[in-house]
Amino acid sequence: MSKTALLFAGQGAQAVGMGRDLAAAFPAAQALFDRANAALGYDLAGVCFNGPEAELTKTENAQPGIFLVSWVALELLKTRVPTLKFDATAGLSLGEFTALTAAGAMSFEDGLRVVRLRGRFMQEACEATRGGMAAIIGLDEVPTREVCAEAGVELANLNCPGQLVISGEADKITQACELAKARGAKRALPLTVAGAYHSRLMASAQPKLRAALASITLTAPLVPVIANVTAQPHGAPAAIVDTVVAQVTGSVRWEESIHALVAQGFTRFIELGPGSALTGFMKRIDKTAQVLNVADCASLEATVKALSA
């Protein structure tokens, strides 16, 4: 029996217009956008649908916006395919919160509010530091770690073979890019981000996030949820808090997380939310897996058709 895992997008997937066609086509989707606006007390749906881009890109809007569109995609898929069964979830960075919510560890409203606060706390950390990130293309993990040690930066994301992301002080990132190219990286590309996510420069966000999590009800997930920092399933509610707080400064071990699922017999992966970055990673991690995604009406229809075949 093949097993299915749900995958949830992370920050960077946001795009003005995300979710708009789903809300226009499905009253149930519009109702979820309205619920989100009521929970947060501002028009997040309007920011998702209409921007402007500078407003959507703000961490405190991008994170809940991606969470919301991902949740809408999941709810629509469940409605269209009532027999849909999933056996695990995983999410990239902020997507880990969507994965936990999908697995029943927290309510939709609580997940949305926590992710909004997480984005705000991380934005504050960005403004208090001068950080940056860069994608290192075509260099293996070991030499990339050596580059990080030499430049004084950190390995933030291990996304898929040939794509790693480093994070740290902006001037050190520039130095690390030069070192990576000297070591044989095909490309070392500074990313357009607000700061140094998944590095020690985000540490000031951690106690604030822990306090925010203390104000909501967490329960044990109904299916395994793979944690970014361990590449293993989350534990009890108290351990969930420790793990997602650690994730703010810790490395996202995405490739390892997917390998862990494949090793447990997972053969179908469904990416939910804007963009298709995780689908791209998946194709580089395991070409034999079936990968579907739901980001808009067209991809929803294609995934419904594939699941119904």
pLDDT at 309: 87
Q: Convert the pLDDT of each residue in 203-247 to its tens digit.
A: 999 999 999 999 999 999 999 999 999 999 999 999 999 999 999
Query: What DSSP string runs through 78-116?
Result: HHH-TT---SEEEESTTHHHHHHHHTTSS-HHHHHHHHH
Same domain, 144 and 279: no
Residues 215 and 304 in one domain: yes
CATH code of the domain containing 167: 3.30.70.250
Indicate the pLDDT class of residue 32, thresholds 50, 70 and 90: very high
122 and 73 in a single domain? The answer is yes
Verify that 152 and 253 share a domain, yes or no: no
| Domain of 154, in residue numbers | 130-190
Say whether both 82 and 40 belong to one domain.
yes
Domain count across the chain: 2
What's the CATH code of the domain at 52?
3.40.366.10
Is the predicted pLDDT of residue 194 greater than 90, yes or no? no
> Both 113 and 257 in a single domain?
yes
Residue of 93, 167, 251, 276 marked catalytic: 93
**Per-residue pLDDT for 1 more than 80?**
no
Q: Do 150 and 254 belong together in one domain?
A: no
Mean of pLDDT over the chain: 97
Residue range 92-110: mean pLDDT, rounded = 98
Mean pLDDT of 263-282: 97
- Which helix (H) or strand (E) element contains residue 73? helix 59-80
The mean pLDDT of 18-37, rounded to a whole number, is 98
Beta pairing class for 131-137 and 163-169: antiparallel
Q: Is the pLDDT of residue 179 over 80?
A: yes
**Averaged over 271-282, what is the pLDDT?**
97
Q: In this model, does residue 193 exceed pLDDT 90?
A: no
* pLDDT of the residue at 267: 97
Q: What is the pTM assigned to this prediction?
A: 0.97
Is 198 an active-site residue? Answer: yes
How much is the average pLDDT of 26-48? 98
| Catalytic option among 70, 198, 199, 257 | 198
- What value does the mean pLDDT take over residues 18-31? 98
> Can you give the pLDDT at residue 221?
98
- Say whether 251 is catalytic: no
Assign 192 a pLDDT band (cuts: 50, 70, 90).
confident
pLDDT-derived band at 264 (thresholds 50, 70, 90) equals very high
Among the three residues 190, 216, 231, which one is the final residue of a domain in this structure?
Answer: 190
